[in-house]
């Protein structure tokens, strides 16, 4: 681990800027391109959600990249090549999206355009997944255990800052006919993200002088996955991750169309939806962060249930705004949703880093990204699917959006069942036994004990 807190802070800042750069790219797809295709060009929401979700179906690449990065010498640069390669791939394909999107809008039944979209989003998904996995694994490698949860939270804060600045830049740089400027916007954001990435990667993973090499017995991908599968607590954690991400994702590709179709807002205003949620999330993380300074078991044990409960309430407000076409209720719901995600993110970051270990950091974070990515993809596709199905049954757009938002609220409350039975100390006893990792004193016995780790 680094010998000083200042080195850790510099590392966290650089990793956060890389995720900031990724957000500049994601915001164009999530909050701009999908709105233009669904609302302005009347492309079926289920088709758009299905194609766009392929970026998350590429998440197995993160598990593979994490495994191979674990296999590299821990004293050298084993995460940086994957961060660089992943970012390069996502940057390379981003400028092609507006040209593809406008062509698809003109011919939505064209199979070649359909498969071209699948390829573009799959490549983009591979790039963002590989880089995100390597970023999180590097946090596990180089940040002291007690600061990892806070470190991951800070990286997420910079990720949200990218969402906010990206949305603001789109709105203020092109306040008029944004649709006409889509290719130029995508090129501008791509070049900006590339510059930030290049600057941040410099010296990001300096070689360490002496670290005991991880045991070869735990380096195998198959054995690591088998150990997670044999641990009831690991299954509970990944089950919670999948369920919570799924229900938090159903609105992603229908939210800006909801603003345009039900609330009758222009493109520039619905683009700010993501900015509002991001602001709310920052406030929520700020409100939750003080708990991260308490005993380590408190942060996720309290912040996660608060986040799920507030999230259910937020979707209740959004369903009310959909039923009555009430913009004020929608704004309140968006702010509350962001605030809820702040508590959820802080709690999830803390819980995730309490379960990670440098010995299998790449595999663990790759599996984390795989499960959350698949859940995100399924949630996004489910949002478009249920919106179309509710519309067919209810024959009203307002009722269709109400149905989706209420389904999300009920699902988030159901996720509390997973947390009820999840025990971190039991997880470590199970994992340490199956992987033969030596426990440090107090690692599994108490609420505040450190997880097992290699001697440094």
Question: Residue 443: pLDDT above 70?
Answer: no
What are the Cα distances from residue 384, in Å, to 36, 256, 368?
A: 15, 12, 24
CA angle 205, 82, 16 (to 5 degrees): 60
Three-state SS annotation for 155-189: HHHHHHHHHHHHHHHHHHHCCCCCHHHHHHHHHHH
* Exposure b/e, 70-87, CB count within 10 A at least 16 = b: bbeebeebbbbbbbbbbb
Question: pTM of whole model > 0.85?
Answer: no
Lowest mean pLDDT of 184-198, 299-313, 384-398, 442-456, name the range.
442-456
CATH of domain 5-202+219-435: 1.20.1250.20
* Exposure b/e, 231-242, CB count within 10 A at least 16 = b: bebbebbbebbb
pLDDT over 90 percentage in the chain: 33
Instruction: Report which DSSP code applies to 360.
Output: G
For 449, the enclosing helix (H) or strand (E) is none
Confidence of residue 15 (pLDDT cuts 50, 70, 90): very high
Beta carbons within 10 angstroms of residue 441's beta carbon: 7
Residue scoring higher pLDDT (240 or 104): 240
Confidence of residue 4 (pLDDT cuts 50, 70, 90): low
Give the model's pLDDT for residue 312: 96
Nearest to 313 by CA among 405, 245, 416, 242: 405
Mean pLDDT of the chain: 82
Question: Residue 363: pLDDT above 60?
Answer: yes
Lowest mean pLDDT of 177-181, 428-432, 451-455, name the range.
451-455
Q: What are the DSSP E strand ranges found in 214-275? A: none
Give the model's pLDDT for residue 294: 53
Residue scoring higher pLDDT (298 or 180): 180
* pLDDT, tens digit (0-9, with 9 covering 90-100), for 154-170: 898 888 888 778 777 76
Confidence of residue 216 (pLDDT cuts 50, 70, 90): very low
End-to-end CA distance of the chain: 7
Residue scoring higher pLDDT (97 or 52): 97
Q: Where are the domains of the chain?
A: 5-202+219-435
Question: Residue 115: pLDDT above 70?
Answer: yes
């Amino acid at each position: 681990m680094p010998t000083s807190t200042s080195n850790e802070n510099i590392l966290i800042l650089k990793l956060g800027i890389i995720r900031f750069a990724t957000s500049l790219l994601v915001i164009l797809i999530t909050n701009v391109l999908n709105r233009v295709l669904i609302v302005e060009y009347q492309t079926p929401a289920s088709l758009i959600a299905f194609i766009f979700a392929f970026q998350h179906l590429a998440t197995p690449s993160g598990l593979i990249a994490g495994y191979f990065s674990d296999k590299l010498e821990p004293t050298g640069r084993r995460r940086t090549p994957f961060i660089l390669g992943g970012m390069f791939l996502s940057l390379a394909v981003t400028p092609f999206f507006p040209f593809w999107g406008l062509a698809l809008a003109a011919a939505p039944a064209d199979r070649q355009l359909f498969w071209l979209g699948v390829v573009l989003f799959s490549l983009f998904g591979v790039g963002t997944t590989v880089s995100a996995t390597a970023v999180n694994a590097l946090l596990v490698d180089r940040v002291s255990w007690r600061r990892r949860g806070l470190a991951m939270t800070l990286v997420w804060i910079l990720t949200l800052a990218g969402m906010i600045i990206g949305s603001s830049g789109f709105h203020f740089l092109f306040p008029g006919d944004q649709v006409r400027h889509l290719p130029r916007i995508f090129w501008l954001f791509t070049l900006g993200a590339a510059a930030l990435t290049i600057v941040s990667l410099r010296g990001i993973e300096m070689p360490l002088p002496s670290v005991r090499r991880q045991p070869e017995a735990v380096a195998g991908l198959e054995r690591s996955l088998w150990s997670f599968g044999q641990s009831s607590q690991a299954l509970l954690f990944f089950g919670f991750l999948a369920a919570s991400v799924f229900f938090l994702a159903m609105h992603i590709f229908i939210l800006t169309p909801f603003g345009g179709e039900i609330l009758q807002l222009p493109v520039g205003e619905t683009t700010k939806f993501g900015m509002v949620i991001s602001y709310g999330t920052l406030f929520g993380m700020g409100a939750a962060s003080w708990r991260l300074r308490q005993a380590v078991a408190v942060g996720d044990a309290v912040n996660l249930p608060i986040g799920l409960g507030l999230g259910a309430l937020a979707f209740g407000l959004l369903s009310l705004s959909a039923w009555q076409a009430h913009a004020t209720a929608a704004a309140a719901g968006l702010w509350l949703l962001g605030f809820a995600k702040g508590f959820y993110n802080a709690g999830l970051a803390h819980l995730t880093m309490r379960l990670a270990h440098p010995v299998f950091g790449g595999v663990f974070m790759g599996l984390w990204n795989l499960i959350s990515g698949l859940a995100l993809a399924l949630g996004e596709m489910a949002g478009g699917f249920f919106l179309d199905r509710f519309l067919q049954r209810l024959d009203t757009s307002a009722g269709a959006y109400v149905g989706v938002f209420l389904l999300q609220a009920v699902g988030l409350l159901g996720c509390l069942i997973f947390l009820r039975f999840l025990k971190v100390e039991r997880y470590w006893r199970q994992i340490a036994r199956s992987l033969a990792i030596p426990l440090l004193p107090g690692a599994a016995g108490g609420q505040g004990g450190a997880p097992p780790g290699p001697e440094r």
